């Protein structure tokens, strides 16, 4: 009897491991036998609980997407001061998506910052030593020309604390900054030396110490009404 119990426990352990490492194959087998899916669902719940008991968040598999276009770059940038946001929603259960609209204070909203085509990029990376890591957010764009209207925006943005939304070429909206920590603005204007040199400004928004990647934003961007 003891030996039979040991064999049964071993088989159960193998099945639980299969739900983690061979989920597709095990699910196909479950569909082929009576009450198979009922047993499969119990195994999934049990194995998930066992795997997450000693860690902060579960680590799931990554599926490589190998179909369709995947262009790089940014197409749009929207900016707001963090102090002008009344409600910054919590992320969804996945921890990386915000599906509820950001609510600005009365009379405020995001404004669009246009930039030269094919000059915008969004980056995020880890930093810090093991056990003390965090995530850095960054957006870079380039705005041609040195003119008074652009320089007036630069003057107002220095030392500001911002939340920005970058739209990538695949249509994803990504939020840099959150309700607790914003991103700072930096710029670097160069007139060039020759007539064929670039004359314009590199804009950058960066922030360190975040506990999450730039959120995916699936709600509408609340825009500031035109004056």
Per-domain boundaries in the chain: 2-52, 74-217
128 CB-near residues (< 8 Å, 6+ apart): 134
Q: At 226, list the tokens.
A: 């035109």
CA distances from 175 to 36, 54, 117, 130, 162 (A): 43, 31, 20, 26, 11
* pLDDT for the residue 208: 95
The least confident of 22-26, 74-78, 223-227 is 22-26
Residue 59 carries which DSSP code? P
Minimum mean pLDDT range among 47-56, 101-110, 139-148: 47-56
pLDDT band at 52 (very low <50, low <70, confident <90, very high): very low
Model-level pTM? 0.74
State yes or no: pLDDT of 38 exceeds 70. Answer: no
**What is the sign, positive or negative, of the torsion defined by CA atoms of 70, 75, 77, 78?**
negative
* Mean per-residue pLDDT over the chain, rounded: 85
Q: How far is CA 125 from the centre of its chain?
A: 11
pLDDT band at 46 (very low <50, low <70, confident <90, very high): very low
Q: Would the pLDDT of 25 be above 90?
A: no
Mean of pLDDT values over 197-212: 96
Nearest 5°: CA angle at 174, between 173 and 179? Answer: 125
> How does pLDDT run across 69-97, given as a tens digit for each residue?
999 999 999 999 999 999 999 999 999 99
Which residue in 127, 106, 102 sits closest to 182, CA to CA? 102
The 10s digit of each residue's pLDDT in 139-154 is 999 999 999 999 999 9
């Amino acid at each position: 009897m003891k030996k039979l119990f040991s064999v049964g426990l071993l088989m159960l352990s193998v099945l639980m491991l299969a739900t983690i490492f061979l989920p597709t194959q095990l699910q196909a087998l479950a569909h082929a036998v009576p009450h198979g899916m009922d047993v499969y669902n119990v195994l999934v719940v049990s194995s998930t609980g066992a795997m997450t008991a000693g860690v902060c968040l579960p680590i799931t598999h990554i599926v490589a997407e190998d179909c369709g276009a995947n262009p790089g770059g940014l197409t749009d940038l929207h900016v707001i001061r963090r102090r002008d946001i009344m409600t910054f929603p919590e992320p969804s259960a996945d921890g990386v998506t915000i599906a509820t609209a950001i609510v600005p204070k009365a009379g405020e909203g995001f404004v669009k910052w246009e930039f030269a085509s094919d000059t915008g990029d969004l980056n995020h990376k880890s930093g810090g030593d093991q056990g003390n890591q965090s995530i850095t957010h960054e957006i870079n764009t380039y705005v041609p020309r040195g003119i008074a209207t652009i320089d007036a925006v630069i003057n107002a943005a220095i030392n500001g604390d911002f939340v920005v939304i970058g739209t990538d070429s695949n249509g994803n909206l990504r939020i840099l900054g959150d309700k607790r920590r914003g991103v700072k603005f930096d710029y670097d204007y160069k007139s060039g030396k020759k007539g064929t040199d670039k004359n314009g400004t590199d804009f950058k928004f960066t922030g360190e110490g975040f506990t999450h990647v730039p959120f995916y934003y699936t709600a509408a961007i609340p825009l500031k009404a035109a004056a």
